Amino acid sequence: MNAPPFSASFQSELETLFRWRRDVRHFRTDPLPRALLDDLLQASCLAPSVGLSEPWRFVLVNDADRRSAIRSNFERCNAEALKGYEGDRAARYAALKLAGLNDAPHHVAVFCEKDPAQGRGLGRSTMPETTTWSAVMAIHTFWLAAVAAEVGLGWVSILDPDAVHHALDAEDGWEFVAYLCVGYPLEPSMTPELERTGWEQRNLERRVWITR
């Protein structure tokens, strides 16, 4: 089987997709068609994984009480994070919207099975953390597929992992990796929100590779 040709037009559109992959915090409340959400989650499983272990575990969080526990977790952690800033920077932080938990119609928690039987341990003896990295690759694949379908995704990281694990009754041996808000974006933008609000600026001119 020959690899399909990827035209210059496709390559340009792919770069556009990368540029529009933004962290979304403002969502419409109408849900995605269930078939679309299923397709996006299925696409995430096309991600590479160490030893073909496919260690990602997606949990759709629909229960109102569990969602409430996650919101409370975020509020506690966010208040604690605010204490790490002073003056103008603290005021700027307090004004940021750092999660779409209240509006996003879909919540997806992502865990990693740290030592799955699948893959038979290949590639993990010296770097066992590669299972976690594989789960992150699945998240990024999900994210790109979502953007291509005009769906927004926001990664909520200001959470206590142990509390999330407990709130969602996650399996022993699963590591919490990400809590994702998913839905149609209220105002799509290719500019990062943290740049639009003046928190930080991207440095696209920085050279991030070196030669030895």
| Alpha carbon distance 16, 18 (integer Å) | 5
pLDDT of residue 188: 86
Strands 174-183, 106-113: pairing kind: antiparallel
Mean pLDDT for the stretch of residues 159-168: 98
Residue 43's CB is within 10 A of a number of other CB atoms, namely: 17
Has residue 208 got a pLDDT over 80?
Answer: no
| Alpha carbon distance 58, 170 (integer Å) | 11
| Alpha carbon distance 131, 53 (integer Å) | 8
pLDDT of residue 168: 98
User: pTM for this structure?
Assistant: 0.93
What are the φ and ψ backbone dihedral angles of 123, each rounded to 5 degrees?
Answer: 80, 0
pLDDT of residue 150: 96
Residue range 33-66, pLDDT digits in tens: 999 999 999 999 999 999 999 999 999 999 999 9
Strands 106-113, 152-156: pairing kind: unpaired
Tokens of 205: 């001119």
Closest CA to 42 of 152, 145, 187: 145
Determine the angle formed by the axes of helices 34-44 and 130-148, rounding to 10 degrees: 140
pLDDT of residue 126: 96
